Every structure is written in C-alpha cells, then in structure tokens.
Structure 1
C-alpha cells in the first residue's frame, strides 16, 4: 500500500473510459458514495470519459468523497477546453504509475 494511505483503509481507483451518457453514471455515484466511507476513492477519466469534464453533475463524485483526475490529452483530443476546478489534470502515464498503489481498480468502459 502507498505511504499516504491510512492504516487499514482500502484504496480504490476507478478508471472511467465510458462517456457520461452511458448507464454507468448512477452506478459510479453509488459505488463512490459507499466506498468513500470505507477508504480513499480516486476516479481517473480517460478516453471518452473525458466528456465527464463537460457535465456539471460530475461534481457529485467530488461531493461524495472522490478525488477526480483526468487525462489532459484525452480532454484535448475531444475539444474539452474549460475544465471545472474540482478536476485535476493528469496523464495515462501517471495512471500507469498509480495502479500499484491501489487495493482495488475498477474499470468502466
């Protein structure tokens, strides 16, 4: 486990590559809400998941306790210019370095 995790707390990483109009939104929100009570939750939006940056309701993930990261290249490729301040810019390279730090990784494609 990573050094910055609390002892005994699980660390969850959600990799979201499906678009925000997919049926995954309510499932993701439910899981984030439940799992953030058990430990740390980070969401990484890449590919078509970058479209979540254009959806105001994505703030619900932050409000539920998740840290929100996105692939800046994916956002640029999809013409996303304005990014809400509750998202943090990242890259798929950073994602590859983060993967071993998490107890569970869930992918929504």
Structure 2
C-alpha cells in the first residue's frame, strides 16, 4: 500500500477513535466499538474484500478468457493463462465448435448472404 494510503487509513482510524471516545461519555452504542476495535474491524473488512477479489480472479481464470473480438461477433480466442498445451488445445477446439455454431445460426437466419 502506498504511503499516502496508509496515512489516510491511519487518519480514518484516528478520527473513528476520537468519535468513539466522545460517544463513550454519551453512553452511546459506539462505545462498544471503541479505540482498538475500530482498527481491527477495518483490517478484517479489508482482508475479506481482498480474499473476495482473489476468489473472483481465480474463478475468472478458469471460466472466462480474454476474448478480443472483431466487429462481426466472431472473436479471436486466446487463453488467459499458460496452461498445459493439451488443455489449451481442448479449449481452442471448444471455441471453434462454438464459433461454427454461431456461424450456422446466422446462416440459417439469412444473415450475410
């Protein structure tokens, strides 16, 4: 994390702490989440968010791939990860099959004649 970001986070936590202290005198619910808890809660929140990001990235690595399409909707397919060649070949075949299906569907509709 960049220095400015850290500073900003620290500032946020500091302000929260002071707020919690103010609330303490008022006997408000925020007193329960005073000082340290606020920092901890924030850390937990950030960690969860990062875990979620990682999970999604892993998921998208296996399912979706980067498709750079040309204008008529038939995309040039490239695998995102450097997997085993066998796997890649299999995926390429799958994509070719998909592409053919798409072409046929359009042909029967009478598009592009």
For Structure 1 versus Structure 2, the TM-score category normalised by the shorter chain is under 0.3
Specify the structure having the higher radius of gyration (Cα): 2
- The structure carrying a bigger strand percent of its residues is 1
- The structure carrying a bigger helix percent of its residues is 2
Give the structure, 1 or 2, with the largest relative contact order (CA under 8 Å, sep 6 or more): 1
TM-score, normalised to structure 1, is 0.25
TM-score, normalised to structure 2, is 0.24
